[in-house]
Amino acid sequence: KGELLVIGGHEDKHHERLILRYLARRVGSGTLVVSAVASEEPEELWEEYEGVFRALNVRHVRRLSIESRADAESPKSLRVLKDATAVFLTGGDQLRITSMIGDTPVFSRLVEIFASGGMIAGTSAGASVMSETMLIGGGSNGSHRIGPDLQLAPGLGLAHDMVIDQHFAERGRIGRLLGVVAQNPRILGVGLDENTAIALNPSRGFRVLGEGAVYVVDGATVTNTNIAEEERDRAMSIYNVTVHLLTQGDRFTIATRTPSSAPAESIEKELGAAS
Amino acid sequence: KGELLVIGGHEDKHHERLILRYLARRVGSGTLVVSAVASEEPEELWEEYEGVFRALNVRHVRRLSIESRADAESPKSLRVLKDATAVFLTGGDQLRITSMIGDTPVFSRLVEIFASGGMIAGTSAGASVMSETMLIGGGSNGSHRIGPDLQLAPGLGLAHDMVIDQHFAERGRIGRLLGVVAQNPRILGVGLDENTAIALNPSRGFRVLGEGAVYVVDGATVTNTNIAEEERDRAMSIYNVTVHLLTQGDRFTIATRTPSSAPAESIEKELGAAS
C-alpha cells in the first residue's frame, strides 16, 4: 500500500527542493523519521536534513540513530518509529544499512510502516537498498567486463524485480546496470541521475520527479549476451536491450514495462510554489 | 569498395596491438600514409606511429603533413598520397581535420583511395570524422539535456547514416549519443570504447575488434522523445531505444540493423600471433 521515494543522490536541499517538497507534502501532519545509518557522519546529515524538513514545514521530524545492530534492536529505536508515517534513509554506504538493520525489529517496523500505507524514502545508498538485490560496486570507467566487475548484495526487498542504481549519468553507470540485466533479464534496471527521483508503488509503477533522467533498462527483448561465458576479463556483449530515458512527469507501468508521458509541470502544479 | 577502420582512441601500440596489426595486415605490401592533421603536436605522433607500423612490418609508411588548407592543396601532399592504399588519421581535434582538408584535393584523393578499395583508418578524432555528421562536443557529465548540450558538425562523409563517438564508456558518452539518435532516428549511433574498433564496409556492416565494447544505439523503435521541445534546459526523455553492446568478433549488418555473433578468437586466428 505504501510508496517508495527513491532518489539518485544530491537532491536539491536549498532552492527548488522539488523532491524533498514532494516528501514533505506526503508526510503532511504525520511523523517523518530520518536515519543516517548509512553514513559515518550521521550527526552532520541529521542536522542538515532536520533543518531542510523543518523549513518545508514538516512539524514532526525525529532522528533514528543506529550505529550498531544493537541500536536496531533497541526499544529506544522502536519508540522513535512508533508514530512514523514516513522514513528517510540518507546516503552513505548501502552495506551499513543492510548489515545493521537487516532482520532486526527496526527493519520489521519499516516494513510495517510501508505496508500500512507509509512512505519509505532514500537517497543514494538509501535508494540502492530499496530493491531485493542491490548494486554495491562495479567499475564505471570503461566498458563493462563479464565476471568480477559487478558487485551485488541482498537489499531491503521493498521493491521487487528491479535493481536501482544512483548518481547514474554523473558516474557513467550504464555499463554496470546493463551487466545486471544481462545476468537476469527478469530484473528491470533503474538508473537514477542526481537530484532525480521516482515515486514508486512497487506493484504498479512509478512517476519521475526532479532535474535529471531515469534510465530504465529492460532486458525482455534481449536475444544474446556473453555474460555467462567462462573468460573472465572479456568485455560484455548484449543484443537488443530496450532502454528508456524518462524525465519529470513521465510514468512507468511495471506490469507492461511501458513508459507514458505527462507534462513536467504537472508535478510542480501539484506541489504548489516553493515555500 | 574500401574499408574503414574506425578506432575509439587509445589503441594498444606496444603489446597485443590487435587493431594496428589488423591495419598492418590490410596494408600488406601497399603504402600506408599517416596524417596527424588533427593534432597540434603532429611531430610526436608521427614518430610514434611510424615506429609502431615499422615494428608491424609495414614496409611503406609515409607522412602526410598538413598544418593549413594550403598544405591540403599542395602538389607535395598529393605526391605523398599518390601510391597510398591506406591512410591513418590520428587523434586530436576533429574540426582541425575537416576544416583543413574539407573540399581540398587531399580530401578528393582520400575518397578516391577509399573508392578504389583502400582503407581509411582513424582513431579518436580520426574516428569521429568518418561520418556525414560528427559529434564535436556535448556534456558527458550528468544527464543529457535537450538543446545546447549537443555539438555537431559536418564530417568527411565516408560512412553514411551513422554518427560515431569514441572514448565512449571511458567518458560516459551514452547520453550524447542517445541525444543524436533522438534528434533523428535515421542515424545509427555507434559508440566505440578505447582500444576498440570497427572494420566497416559502409554499405554492408562492420565487425568488432579489440578490448572494449561497441555500443550501437538504434532509434528505429523509438516511440517518444522530448528532444524537440522548446524548454532548453530540460533533461532529455526518449522511450524504447534499442541498444546493443558488441564485442570482438561480433558483426553488425546495417541494412537490417541486426547484430550477430562470432567467437572473439576468430580475429586473432585470422591475424596470427603478434609479431
A219-238, pLDDT tens digit by residue? 999 999 999 887 777 899 99
Is pLDDT at B223 greater than 90 in this prediction? yes
The verdict on a CB contact (< 8 Å) between A143 and B264 is no
DSSP string, B238-252: EEEEEEEEE-TT-EE
pLDDT in tens, A246-270: 999 999 999 999 999 988 888 888 8
Which long-range contacts link A63-68 to residues 24+ away (Cβ below 8 Å)?
Answer: A63/A33, A63/A34, A63/A35, A64/A33, A64/A34, A64/A35, A64/A37, A64/A106, A65/A35, A65/A36, A66/A35, A66/A37, A66/A100, A66/A101, A66/A106, A67/A37, A67/A42, A67/A100, A68/A100
Is pLDDT at B232 greater than 80 in this prediction? no
List chain B residues with CB under 8 Å of A8.
none
C-beta separation of B107 from B73 below 8 A:
no
The pLDDT of residue A144 is: 79
The pLDDT of residue A141 is: 67
The pLDDT of residue B275 is: 47
Is pLDDT at B274 greater than 60 in this prediction? no
The pLDDT of residue B90 is: 98
The verdict on a CB contact (< 8 Å) between B243 and A244 is no
Assign A275 a pLDDT band (cuts: 50, 70, 90): very low
Is pLDDT at B142 greater than 80 in this prediction? no
The pLDDT of residue B273 is: 58
> B194 catalytic, yes or no?
yes
pLDDT in tens, A150-169: 899 999 999 999 999 999 99
List chain B residues with CB under 8 Å of A171.
172
pLDDT > 70: percent of chain A: 97
The pLDDT of residue A140 is: 64
* Separation in Å, CA of A273 to nearest CA in chain B: 19
Q: What's the whole-number mean pLDDT along residues A175-196?
A: 95
Does A151 lie at the interface with B, CB-CB under 8 angstroms?
no
Is pLDDT at A200 greater than 90 in this prediction? yes
Does B141 lie at the interface with A, CB-CB under 8 angstroms?
yes
Q: How many CA atoms lie within 13 A of A198 on its CB side?
A: 31
Does B181 lie at the interface with A, CB-CB under 8 angstroms?
no
pLDDT in tens, B180-191: 999 999 999 999
The pLDDT of residue A31 is: 98
ipTM score of complex: 0.88
C-beta separation of B268 from B262 below 8 A:
no
Mean residue pLDDT of chain B comes to: 94
Is pLDDT at A148 greater than 80 in this prediction? no
> A237 catalytic, yes or no?
no
Assign B138 a pLDDT band (cuts: 50, 70, 90): confident
pLDDT in tens, B128-137: 999 999 999 8
> B268 catalytic, yes or no?
no
- Active-site residue identified among A124, A128, A131, A140: A124
Among the residue ranges A102-106, A147-151, A185-189, B209-213, the one predicted with the least confidence is A147-151
